Amino acid sequence: MSHPHPELGPPPKLPKGALRVTPLGGLGEIGRNMTVFEYGGRLLIVDCGVLFPEEEQPGVDLILPDFTSIRDRLADIDGIVLTHGHEDHIGGVPFLLREKPDIPLIGSKLTLALIEAKLQEHRIRPYTLEVTEGHRERIGPFECQFVAVNHSIPDALAVAIRTPAGMVVHTGDFKMDQLPLDGRLTDLRTFAKLGEEGIDLLLSDSTNAEVPGFVAPERDISGVLRQVFGNADKRIIVASFASHVHRIQQILDAAHEHGRRVAFVGRSMVRNMGIARDLGYLRVPPGLVVDVRSLDDLPDDEVVLVCTGSQGEPMAALSRMANRDHQIRIVQGDTVILASSLIPGNENAVYRVINGLTRWGANVVHKGNAKVHVSGHASAGELLYFYNICKPRNLMPVHGEWRHLRANAELGALTGVPKDRVVIAEDGVVVDLVNGIAKIVGKVQAGYVYVDGLSVGDVTESSLKDRRILGDEGIISVFVVVDSTTGKIVGGPHIQGRGTGIDDSAFVAVTPKIEESLAKAAADGVGEPHQLQQLVRRAIGKWVSDSYRRRPMILPVVVEV
């Protein structure tokens, strides 16, 4: 199995008649999915998603793919194919369309409705092309055939991309639920036909490649939900992804069966469920859904709240309820259902929310103590079955952390894909399909691009390091006034600490050390303010380290008069 090397340089010029595949996100991580296909000087993009920040990225709202490698080629992009409407596949689209608003978006009805609503907030009116399963569409030199797959959102599609260099199939996110709530099966017949035609390169979802067996059907959750609803004698609060229409449908069905009314809480939940209802993907009995403001008029045992925050996001509704920072106050006897999985990296945040809710007396039902979630991604058994049907000549695992990519690669090899035709890449690694063989040929820039408020890309790793230091160790500011002629101190030093755990009165002990350093500098003829600031920083830094074993950020200011 081939794998990337850190010494990889820029890729060579694409050989004539070859197809280039460049993942800019989604490999080595869960999120930020984006893959660029190039043939004949034209580009086709599949998905453009976001990654949500972890604790070591304080202040960051979203993480985008790095568009650097395509920024000077935006005119060469013939379209963006969106496999489905999850944020990790469509959330980056507004930021790419800011740079060129007329790039066509191609996707299913629900996917396009979700991205259009998002783009409206960015004041972008996109050019869209709606497609359905079985549909074939020529997009520049790429002939795209769309294939139905089921996932944890309706209307998900895989895409087969035909070029003279060969056929590539990108699965998007998929599973093989044999009893889907909407009756829309993953179209194995079409995949088998594509396999007979000859799949030269298969890009396959890796998220559950480590999990043995098959994913349970979504409808298995219904019985558990009904049981929880039957046992609850006060309010029920359900946290779910704002796009999981099938999960919300089962919640609505259980609420209707038990004579409860439902209110959606959270902007994205209200927006997405409104879209799903208007397009007919969500069936809502008359009078079931009410405005959240009318809940005060209903008894607790007739109320269901459906909100966001299943991943412990600090500003989401559920987290704010746990922190007593929301209009909805958790009380003794409320039942809270977390109807979702734990995205890797979110475990601590989720359990913090569970503990907060439990503290206020809620009965918290989650994946760890009840079957209230099934995955939207194919497990190992399904992937083996899938590879045996498709018989790809080359395999490139996508969508997953390193352990998932490696496990998926092993599954492909077990089904007969030659080991030297299984390509384990990472973000930015360039793979060329030449004469039916996929090989790594180089690497392009594909780092994290941070969104912080209205700024995109202004936050760097260096500034995040500063934020972590400030959060962990605090800051000490030192203000000194020196005579510009003699270099002697004429004011200060004034020292203040914030978040260091060191009392300001303790800084009396370091004042002589600072004065000594500046006096020596004056005697040596050192008078440039920047140099003096470094001397002050070193003096107080050494004292803090020796006395407290801490490393706060030190901000020295030396003013000449």
Domain containing 167: what range? 19-213+375-453
204 and 61 assigned to the same domain: yes
- Looking at the fold, whether 141 and 251 belong to one and the same domain comes out as no
The reported pLDDT for the residue numbered 529 is 75
Question: Same domain for 357 and 388?
Answer: no
Residue 185 Cα distances to 26, 32, 383, 388, angstroms: 25, 26, 15, 18
Q: Is residue 374 part of an annotated ligand binding site?
A: yes
- Same domain for 357 and 439? no
Query: Is 366 a known ligand-binding residue?
Result: no
Q: What CA–CA distance (Å, rounded) separates 25 from 16?
A: 26
DSSP 172-216: -S-B--SS-TT-----HHHHHHHHHH--SEEEEE-TBTTS-S-PP
84 among annotated binding-site residues: yes
- Residue 164 sits in a domain of what CATH number? 3.60.15.10
Together in a domain, 101 and 199? yes
452 is in an annotated binding site: yes
Q: Which two tokens stand for residue 188?
A: 């194995």
- How high is the pLDDT of residue 2? 46
Instruction: Determine whether the annotation assigns residue 211 to a binding site.
Output: no
Q: Extract the tokens encoding 102.
A: 């007329």
Q: Note whether residue 431 is domain-resident.
A: yes
Which residues share a beta bridge with 139? Answer: 142
What is the pLDDT at residue 1? Answer: 46
In eight-state DSSP terms, residue 487 is: -
The predicted pLDDT at position 349 comes to 77
Look up the CATH number of the domain holding residue 324: 3.40.50.10710
Residue 61 assigned ligand-binding role: yes
Give pTM, 2 decimals.
Answer: 0.84
In a domain, 10, yes or no: no
Sequence-ordered alpha helix ranges (H) in 157-236: 188-197, 221-231
Which is nearest to 80 in space by CA: 53, 111, 56? 111
Residue 358 included in any domain: yes
Residue with tokens 């035909």: 162
What confidence score (pLDDT) does residue 73 get? 95
Do 108 and 254 share a domain, yes or no?
A: no
At 75, list the tokens.
Answer: 């005119």
Flag whether 521 is in a domain. Answer: yes
Q: How far is CA 297 from CA 237, 286, 328, in A?
A: 17, 18, 14
Exactly one of 177, 200, 205, 253 is catalytic; name it. 205
User: What local confidence, expressed as pLDDT, does residue 412 receive?
Assistant: 97
Residue 385 and residue 493 share a domain: no
The answer for residues whose C-beta is within 8 angstroms of residue 387's C-beta and 6 or more apart is: 202, 204, 395, 411, 412, 415, 416, 417
Q: Are residues 342 and 408 in the same domain?
A: no
Q: Which two tokens stand for residue 82?
A: 């969106």
Residue 26 within a domain: yes
Domain boundary among 399, 429, 453: 453
Domain membership of residue 6 (yes or no) is no
Q: In a 3-state reduction of DSSP, which class is residue 150?
A: strand
8 Å CB contact between 166 and 21? no
The pLDDT, as a whole number, for residue 487 is 65
> Helices 109-121 and 267-278: crossing angle, nearest 10°?
140
- The 8-class DSSP code of residue 308 comes to S
Same domain, 315 and 421: no
The per-residue pLDDT for 6 is 67
| SS3 readout for 221-253 | HHHHHHHHHHHCCCCEEEECCCCCHHHHHHHHH
Q: Strand pairing of 236-239 and 303-307?
A: parallel
Strand order in the sheet with 62-64: 62-64, 449-452, 455-456
**Among the three residues 453, 478, 493, which one is the final residue of a domain in this structure?**
453
Give average pLDDT by consecutive 10-residue segment, the chain, 561 residues. 65 94 93 95 96 72 90 96 94 94 96 94 92 96 97 95 97 94 95 97 96 92 90 90 89 93 89 93 92 85 85 72 84 88 70 87 85 90 97 96 95 96 94 95 90 71 70 79 73 79 80 81 73 81 82 80 72
Tokens at residue 518, please?
Answer: 């500046």
Distance CA 38, CA 46 (A): 11
The reported pLDDT for the residue numbered 296 is: 81
Given the residues 170, 246, 366, 377, the one annotated as active site: 377
530 labeled part of a ligand binding site: no
The CA–CA distances, whole Å, from 23 to 29, 298, 444 equal 12, 51, 10
- The verdict on whether residue 326 carries a ligand-binding annotation is no
Q: Would the annotation count 404 as a binding residue?
A: no
Q: Is 170 annotated as a binding residue?
A: no
Is residue 356 located within the same domain as residue 443?
no
- Residue 377 among known ligand-binding residues: yes
Paired sense of beta strands 429-434 and 437-443, if any: antiparallel
Asked, for residue 163, whether it belongs to a domain, the answer is: yes
Q: What is the pLDDT of residue 394?
A: 98
Q: Examine the residue annotation and report whether 377 is marked as an active-site residue of this protein.
A: yes
| Residue 3 bears catalytic tag | no
Quick one: 75 and 155 in the same domain? yes
Kindly state the DSSP code that residue 289 receives in the 8-state scheme: B
Residue 12 lies in a domain: no
Q: For residue 88, say whether it is annotated as part of any ligand binding site.
A: yes
Q: How many CA atoms lie within 13 A of 339 on its CB side?
A: 32
Q: Which residues pair with 432 in a beta bridge?
A: 20, 439
* Structure token digits, residue 379: 């497990």
244 and 296 in one domain?
yes
What is the domain-level CATH number for residue 497? Answer: 3.10.20.580
Number of domains comprising the chain = 3
243 is in an annotated binding site: yes
Tell me the two tokens of residue 430.
Answer: 């360039």
Tell me the two tokens of residue 140.
């520049």
